[in-house]
Structure 1
Amino acid sequence: MQIVVIETPELGDRSYLVHAGGAGFVVDPQRDIDRMLSAIESAGVRLSHVFETHIHNDYVSGGLALSAATGAHYVVAGADQVHFPRVPAGDGSQFQSGQLTVAALHTPGHTPNHLAYVVTEGGRQEAVFTGGSLLYGTVGRTDLISPESTEELTRSQFRSTRRLLASLPGDTRVMPTHGFGSFCASGGTATGRGGDIAQERLRNLAGTIGDETQFVTTVSSGLGPYPSYYRHMAPLNRHGPSAFLAPPHGGSASPALIRQRLSERAWVIDTRPRRTFAGAHLEGTVSMELDDSFTTYVGWLAPFDSPIMLLADRPQDFVLAKRNLARIGMDQIEGNSSGVDRLSGQFPIRSYPVVAFRELQLPLADGAFVLDVRQPDEWRAGHLRGAHHLPLQDLPTHLGELPHEPIWVHCGVGFRASVAASLIDRAGLEVVLVDDDFDRARAAGLPVVI
């Protein structure tokens, strides 16, 4: 049996192609199914099934589109209400994919109707595809359905994950969908890049905490904020989203349209590196460097159902950004990929300084306004004495409360601070971007307190 892993680091998730003897199946495909179709073709696989572990809350599924493109059966929990044809599955359901047998296990917790899939070949339980239940070192978060159901789902997660740990052989490989930087993991990013049941018995929260109440307390205490776009994902996935079609070329929005969007206070996002943006950018634009955090924070901060304008220096950057946003259902994308420098002569230009933590020592001692835009758990673990805390996702609604003096903004490594700096600049305030790793703050002589 071969397992092909399709990584989506921009969202911290994995999809899987599993095959043996020329037949195979897919677990939890993302919307841009061209990647999976390419893997299927390369492996020479006849696809029999597409399995969903749950109705996803952090990305748009490509399951229905992949099923339509390949003729494979689309398997979704029978208890989930969906608006498309599917093969229903429940606890104990079995499916045959060539020489592989796939058995569904009801594993509620991450969602009420969550399923895990155990794959057997030649009488051996080779792997279990755990979706958002048993992750590497931790479990999937349990608060995405509603506050009222969180405790019940956390208790269900305890029982579900311990069932997997107790019932499967130690050498059964654990293959989760979430847990690689996804906000769907409880307590932050899960540890480890791979594992089996024996390893998870030793390192997983579900394996090391034997008391259900203590497990609930531990998991609940690690449930921090999650992106606002999540609330749109389940409704889209229940209705059966379409596949993503890659644009044939870059963006060609005219300067007049860009100017119109800026006048409307729409989100015009500059995808260039953050230091390039700080050096010179079109007035009113927002910095969102095209890296692995791009998708999450555009989805978290920008209005979900409104047009978004992307500015890029290369057509391939625009195409990649559009693909990334399609994965979370943001399809109203306009753009210009001819290069921001070519547009600069037609728009007012702004800039702001970029410094490291060592350059903050004297201003902080003199009472400078320092803004920390990290998450609450990061702030509690250590922050600069005298700094002000405002998580990035809360900044847009609090810009009017910031002072009319230089604002020195920092985060953990620079990306979130660069977004915050551009929003502060967009509001007409004076800002200094501290583009540095927070681990260097103490070494720079700055007072870090808990």
Structure 2
Amino acid sequence: MHVETIETPSLGDRSYLVHDGRVALVVDPQRDVDRVLDAAETAGVRIGCVAETHMHNDYVTGGLVLATDLGVDYLVNAADPVAFARRGVTGGEVVQVGELRVEVVATPGHTETHLSFVVTHDGQEAVFSGGSLLFGSVGRTDLLGPDLTQQLTHAQFHSVRAIAAAAAEDAELYPTHGFGSFCSSGPATGANHSTVGEQVRTNHAFTTTDEDTFVTDLINGLAAYPTYYAHMGPANAAGPGPADLSVPAPLTAAELRRRLDDGGWVVDLRTRTTFADGHLAGALNVEMGGSFVTYLGWTLPYDQPITLLGSEDDVREGVRELARIGLDHPTAAIGDDPNTLAGDHRLSSYRRVGWAEVAAETPTVILDVRRTDEYADGHLPGAVNIPLSDLLERIADVPDGQVWVHCASGFRSSIGASILDRAGRHPVYIDASFDDAAAAGLTIETVQPAG
């Protein structure tokens, strides 16, 4: 048995191509299925089946398009209320894909209808656990709403044990989430591989043997997750169409000026340092790379027109990233020089500093755009905490005057500073890791728990 991993680091997810040397099973493919087809071609195998562990909440699946185009079975839980034809499967079923024996295991918790797949071939065994058992953690259980969270958390406790019962101790484990995805319920280990036995010995889902304690601890540890998640499950249940990954024709300078003047969502993909030094007034900065699509989808209003501004390579990557969360057909202004892209449109800039300047100048207003749980763990005295995801709606809550903006690494604060700049405020962008603030002489406070 061979397993090819197809990573999507920007969303913290993995898809898999598992094969016997001739025929392959694809598990949890992202919407840009060209990567899966390329992997199959490179391996010299035919895709014989596509399987979905669950209706994903953090990306739009490519499973339906891939299975339909290839004319192969699409394995989806028979209990999922989907609007398309599929091969409905339930826990306990066995499906043959070439020489691969695929056992379906019901593992509710991350979703009500979550499945895992135990694949066996030639004496080897592998578990594709989706958002159930992760490396060092489990999938979060609150994505279907507060009314179901406790029930699903109890189910998650039992589901990981169902995986351990169905698979050998040395079975390789291949989760979909847990590599930076907010679908994880807690910090994953950062490992690249693991086995079921290793997780039984080390994962808190197993080492916490009291079910009620597990449920309480997991729910208490759940943090905020991206708002665009609300659109992913319904899109996947409806049956997503193919992704259009073509680069749009460039806008004219006049049309770009009009969109900026009208308050449209023009997203500058250049580096945060370059953007701070000079950009088109009214544009937002979401630097291409890293967590680009997660924070764009979390910050901007979903389903409103987006214009990408940057080099052709960055725009091409931006189109692909947006398609993964269902934001199709953005427009684009292609180029790296804001002086020429929109003709005589006004340019803007703002100051970029590190912690040494913060310590030396003692700013009056510091805006911390991290999540509330990050703020509680440690923050600068007097800092105003408005998570980046709330900043557009709560910009009136930002105190007047010059606003010094920081986050954990400098990525989110670059977006926050550009939001303030777009609103006509006066940001100072703190481009530094929060872990280095104390070394610069700054005091760190924590929020003391009530009682």
Both structures adopt the same fold (TM-score exceeding 0.5): yes
Q: CA deviation at 1:345?
A: 4.2
- Contact 1:127 1:172 survives alignment (8 Å): yes
* 1:179-190 mapped onto 2 (5 Å cutoff): 179-190=178-189
Q: CA deviation at 1:415?
A: 0.4
5+ unaligned residues in a row in structure 1: which ranges?
Answer: none
Q: CA deviation at 1:99?
A: 1.2
1:202 counterpart residue number? 201
The C-alpha deviation readout for 1:126-184, integer Å capped at 9, x for no partner, is: 10000000000000000001110000000000000122124422100110000000000
1:139 counterpart residue number? 138
Secondary structure in 2 aligned to 1:330? coil
Deviates more, 1:222-231 or 1:186-195: 186-195
The C-alpha deviation readout for 1:37-87, integer Å capped at 9, x for no partner, is: 111111111111100000111100000111122222111000001111100
Q: Which amino acid aligns with 1:240?
A: G
Q: Which amino acid aligns with 2:349?
A: S
Supply the distance in 2 between the matched residues of 1:275 and 1:420 (Cα, whole angstroms): 14
Supply the distance in 2 between the matched residues of 1:403 and 1:110 (Cα, whole angstroms): 39
Supply the distance in 2 between the matched residues of 1:78 and 1:256 (Cα, whole angstroms): 52
Q: Which amino acid aligns with 1:322?
A: V
Q: CA deviation at 1:189?
A: 4.2
Q: Which amino acid aligns with 1:315?
A: E
- Confirm whether residue 434 of structure 1 aligns to residue 436 of structure 2: no
1:319 counterpart residue number? 316
Q: CA deviation at 1:206?
A: 1.2
> Could you tell me which of 395, 401, 404 is aligned with 1:405?
401
- Contact 1:118 1:128 survives alignment (8 Å): yes
- Contact 1:201 1:207 survives alignment (8 Å): yes
Supply the distance in 2 between the matched residues of 1:235 and 1:158 (Cα, whole angstroms): 26
Secondary structure in 1 aligned to 2:236? helix
2:350 counterpart residue number? 352
- In the superposition, the TM-score normalised over structure 2's length comes to 0.96
Q: Which amino acid aligns with 1:296?
A: T
Secondary structure in 2 aligned to 1:449? coil
- Contact 1:250 1:315 survives alignment (8 Å): no
Supply the distance in 2 between the matched residues of 1:353 and 1:360 (Cα, whole angstroms): 12
- Confirm whether residue 63 of structure 1 aligns to residue 63 of structure 2: yes
Supply the distance in 1 between the matched residues of 2:152 and 2:255 (Cα, whole angstroms): 47
Supply the distance in 1 between the matched residues of 2:397 and 2:140 (Cα, whole angstroms): 33
Supply the distance in 1 between the matched residues of 2:128 and 2:401 (Cα, whole angstroms): 53
1:228 counterpart residue number? 227
1:396 counterpart residue number? 392
* 1:101-140 mapped onto 2 (5 Å cutoff): 101-122=101-122, 124=123, 126-140=125-139
- In the superposition, the TM-score normalised over structure 1's length comes to 0.96
The C-alpha deviation readout for 1:72-120, integer Å capped at 9, x for no partner, is: 2111000001111100110111111111100100000000010000011
* 1:246-285 mapped onto 2 (5 Å cutoff): 246-247=245-246, 249=247, 251-285=249-283
Q: CA deviation at 1:344?
A: 5.6
Secondary structure in 2 aligned to 1:448? coil
> Could you tell me which of 288, 294, 297 is aligned with 2:295?
297
- Contact 1:125 1:168 survives alignment (8 Å): no
Kindly tell me: are residues 215 and 191 of structure 1, through their superposed partners in 2, closer, same or farther at Cα, counting changes over 3 Å? farther
Supply the distance in 2 between the matched residues of 1:168 and 1:84 (Cα, whole angstroms): 31
2:39 counterpart residue number? 39
- Contact 1:16 1:29 survives alignment (8 Å): yes
Count of residues in correspondence between the two structures: 445
Supply the distance in 2 between the matched residues of 1:63 and 1:429 (Cα, whole angstroms): 45
1:170 counterpart residue number? 169
Deviates more, 1:29-38 or 1:160-169: 160-169
Secondary structure in 2 aligned to 1:29? coil
Supply the distance in 2 between the matched residues of 1:189 and 1:128 (Cα, whole angstroms): 18
Secondary structure in 1 aligned to 2:321? helix
Supply the distance in 2 between the matched residues of 1:397 and 1:301 (Cα, whole angstroms): 10
Supply the distance in 2 between the matched residues of 1:202 and 1:357 (Cα, whole angstroms): 41
Deviates more, 1:238-247 or 1:35-44: 238-247
Supply the distance in 1 between the matched residues of 2:329 and 2:33 (Cα, whole angstroms): 20
Supply the distance in 2 between the matched residues of 1:328 and 1:340 (Cα, whole angstroms): 28
* 1:357-372 mapped onto 2 (5 Å cutoff): 357-364=355-362, 368-372=364-368
Supply the distance in 2 between the matched residues of 1:226 and 1:93 (Cα, whole angstroms): 33
Supply the distance in 1 between the matched residues of 2:43 and 2:72 (Cα, whole angstroms): 16
Secondary structure in 2 aligned to 1:428? coil
Q: CA deviation at 1:211?
A: 0.6
Supply the distance in 1 between the matched residues of 2:397 and 2:234 (Cα, whole angstroms): 35
Q: CA deviation at 1:243?
A: 1.6
Deviates more, 1:51-60 or 1:398-407: 398-407
Supply the distance in 1 between the matched residues of 2:166 and 2:57 (Cα, whole angstroms): 28
- Contact 2:12 2:179 survives alignment (8 Å): yes
1:15 counterpart residue number? 15
Supply the distance in 1 between the matched residues of 2:295 and 2:337 (Cα, whole angstroms): 21
Secondary structure in 1 aligned to 2:250? coil
5+ unaligned residues in a row in structure 2: which ranges?
Answer: 447-451
